[in-house]
Amino acid sequence: MTTINLLMNSLPGVSSSDAEEYQPPIWKSYLYQLQQEAPRPKRIICPREVENRPKYYGREFHGIISREQADELLGGVEGAYILRESQRQPGCYTLALRFGNQTLNYRLFHDGKHFVGEKRFESIHDLVTDGLITLYIETKAAEYISKMTTNPIYEHIGYATLLREKVSRKLSKSKNEPRKTNVTHEEHTAVDKISSLVRRAALTHNDNHFNYEKTHNFKVHTFRGPHWCEYCANFMWGLIAQGVRCSDCGLNVHKQCSKHVPNDCQPDLKRIKKVYCCDLTTLVKAHNTQRPMVVDICIREIEARGLKSEGLYRVSGFTEHIEDVKMAFDRDGEKADISANVYPDINIITGALKLYFRDLPIPVITYDTYSKFIDAAKISNADERLEAVHEVLMLLPPAHYETLRYLMIHLKKVTMNEKDNFMNAENLGIVFGPTLMRPPEDSTLTTLHDMRYQKLIVQILIENEDVLF
């Protein structure tokens, strides 16, 4: 049975006939074979006890010797290495490594871990092993590596992570539905089948799929055991930090391949640890909603029982209770109970909503658009100012735009109850200006200077929500 059969059959609701429709990506073995062929490190031990040897080096340290002496000690053996102290710069250490019929010298550093470049290693042996692998592969396959990204297996929403974690659920939901006719030409590769099947499954996920564009959140990652890039299908070589992983969706790719991956991250709920302080677009894509569910749930509750409450959004609720609401959303998500039975004071709910906006790593009105909104607010002609605000709104990411639109419709309803709650658009602008928009630079002076313009922007958005959105 193939690896993909085992993978698919291990998932609930996926039959063997479903699994047989899938073919595994054609993982390319060339770079893996090269890693297996790379020279192995050979430590050349110093036969004498070296005085003042750093405690983090072993017997491969030979003390103060010249490059010529190091070269002689290595004896022309491929992969052989020693450590030495520089004659010219005492206290500076060098790794002398034999590779490609020559001796290579690298300045060696230690800050708790050993390194000569970006990668940090627990031991000199690991550093040399990784270095030999990298040198060998990049020497033997330089041209191959330069062309890795020209013919990727990756297609939009067709990467292997999505296949593993999401498509099986679509199949289990739709396996009783009539099958669409499959086009099966012999020249179609296994990659084509995977990509088309993933795309079809993703598009038929449900009718409420909100396809907001989202960049991947790539971070350097160390993979345990052999791993292949899900963009180019090539082996990810080295001992540590072989590539990058998207912390939101789990996509694994080479660092150089990450520059070519489309902005199509599909965040996995298992990787989203909390609701507050989470990137807005990441949260809505993970939950497959138009807006953050915190916004929807809080606004529903406020409109159901709080629109006439005096000082709505201006009056603060108890901080401890607001934190309780935050914890409830982080813990229970959309099942969080914020009803009047639990929180009778509506100001706790308005406080929790404002806190959500303040805690966003990128504000609803993004850093990229902040200065443009401030410039628009400074325009004296009302019509021109409104047009300028509308133009900047179009620059917001879709999820941010939709969230702002929904909030402004709600705040307009609040102003329609001004005779009871005493909150007009200007008052709400004072409250929400610094909550929805913050200057990119963390400057108190800038914030104080821009407060009146922040207020004015929110006031304009509320008063003209039917025109602007």
32 falls within a domain: no
Where does a domain end: 146, 163, 185?
146
Q: What is the pLDDT of residue 136?
A: 97
Same domain, 457 and 311: yes
Q: How confident is the model at residue 25 (pLDDT cuts 50, 70, 90)?
A: low
Alpha carbons 113 and 92: distance in angstroms, whole number: 16
Where does a domain end: 227, 249, 271?
271
Same domain, 248 and 336: no
Same domain, 263 and 289: no
Same domain, 313 and 450: yes
19 falls within a domain: no
Find the mean pLDDT for residues 313-327.
Answer: 96
Q: What is the pLDDT of residue 84?
A: 96
Same domain, 226 and 310: no
Chain Cα centroid distance, residue 349: 30
Please give the DSSP secondary-structure letter assigned to residue 342.
Answer: T
258 falls within a domain: yes
Find the mean pLDDT for residues 128-135.
Answer: 97
Q: What are the tens digits of pLDDT across the range 434-451?
A: 999 999 987 788 888 999
pLDDT at 242 over 90: yes
| CATH code for position 134 | 3.30.505.10
pLDDT at 87 over 70: yes
Q: How confident is the model at residue 288 (pLDDT cuts 50, 70, 90)?
A: confident
Q: What are the tens digits of pLDDT across the range 144-203?
A: 999 988 888 876 434 444 444 444 444 344 334 433 333 333 333 333 333 322 432 343
Range name among 79-93, 194-208, 273-287, 455-469 with the lowest pLDDT average:
194-208
Q: What are the tens digits of pLDDT across the range 212-237?
A: 888 999 999 999 989 999 999 999 99
201 falls within a domain: no
Q: What is the pLDDT of residue 266?
A: 87
Find the mean pLDDT for residues 132-138.
Answer: 96
Q: What is the pLDDT of residue 264?
A: 86
**Strand-pair partners of 104:** 97
pLDDT at 453 over 80: yes
Same domain, 224 and 351: no
Q: What is the pLDDT of residue 10?
A: 38
Find the mean pLDDT for residues 29-51.
Answer: 94
Token pair 């735009």 is found at 401
Q: What are the tens digits of pLDDT across the range 64-78?
A: 999 999 999 999 999
Same domain, 295 and 393: yes
DSSP secondary structure letters along 230-277: TTT-BB--SSS--EEEETTT--EE-HHHHTTS-SB----GGG---STT
Same domain, 236 and 348: no
| CATH code for position 319 | 1.10.555.10
Token pair recorded at residue 380 = 């004296």
Same domain, 429 and 291: yes
Q: What is the pLDDT of residue 155?
A: 61
152 versus 389: which is more confidently predicted?
Answer: 389
Residue 362 CB burial class (10 angstroms; 0-12, 13-18, ≥19) = middle
Range name among 184-198, 346-360, 391-405 with the lowest pLDDT average:
184-198
| Start-to-end Cα distance in the chain | 55
27 falls within a domain: no
Range name among 79-93, 189-203, 310-324, 387-401 with the lowest pLDDT average:
189-203
Instruction: Say how many domains are in the chain.
Output: 3
Same domain, 239 and 281: no
| CATH code for position 249 | 3.30.60.20
pLDDT at 22 over 70: no
202 falls within a domain: no
Same domain, 235 and 296: no
Where does a domain end: 118, 146, 174?
146
Q: What is the pLDDT of residue 268?
A: 85
Q: What is the pLDDT of residue 200?
A: 27
247 falls within a domain: yes
Q: Is the pTM of this model over 0.75?
A: no
381 falls within a domain: yes
Same domain, 257 and 298: no
For residue 378, what are the domain limits? 275-468
